[in-house]
Amino acid sequence: MIKSRNTNQKSLILEAIKHLDHPTCDEIYLEVQKLNPKIGRATVFRNVKALTDKGILTKIIMPQGALRYDISIQNHSHFVCNKCGKIYDMSYLPNIDLPASTNFAIEDYKLIFTGVCKECQKKER
């Protein structure tokens, strides 16, 4: 079976994301360019959106800064270091008990912790 061009592009994008740590779309594009310089920026951005819409990638909405993407679609939290900016996956998921009176039909939530990572704490000592 011959892969379509679109499938090849998505495969390259997923391969690039595996080498990156919670990248922005621009970082994904730069990594894809190393693998195939013929792929344009708009193509990468369009495919990242399609992969996110299909649930293959998770979009991380950062409090400050650009959107970031995660290849792990399992429900998990993130920790962002205030010193180095590195983003870590966390398996911690709090038990949130909302009152029934909220009248919201919550489908998902994203939790981002901030602080200082272990490596930056070591540097401060």
Phi-psi region of 115 (alpha: psi -120 to 50; beta: other; left: phi over 0): left
In the chain, how many domains are there? 2
CA gap 46, 8 in Å, rounded:
14
Q: Do 61 and 98 belong together in one domain?
A: no
Query: Could you read off the pLDDT of 2-58 as tens digits, one per residue?
Result: 444 567 889 999 999 988 989 999 999 999 999 899 999 999 999 999 999 998 998
Q: What is the DSSP string of 9-46?
A: HHHHHHHHHHTSSS--HHHHHHHHHHH-TTS-HHHHHH
The 3-state DSSP class for residue 95 equals coil
Query: Could you read off the pLDDT of 17-28 as tens digits, one per residue?
Result: 988 989 999 999
Q: Do 14 and 60 belong together in one domain?
A: yes
Q: Do 62 and 15 belong together in one domain?
A: yes
14 is in which domain, residue-wise? 5-70
Q: Do 91 and 53 belong together in one domain?
A: no
CATH code: domain of residue 11? 1.10.10.10
Q: Do 16 and 57 belong together in one domain?
A: yes
Q: Do 41 and 86 belong together in one domain?
A: no
CATH code: domain of residue 92? 3.30.1490.190
Say what the pTM is.
0.77
Percent of residues in the chain assigned helix, strand, coil, to nearest 5: 40, 15, 45
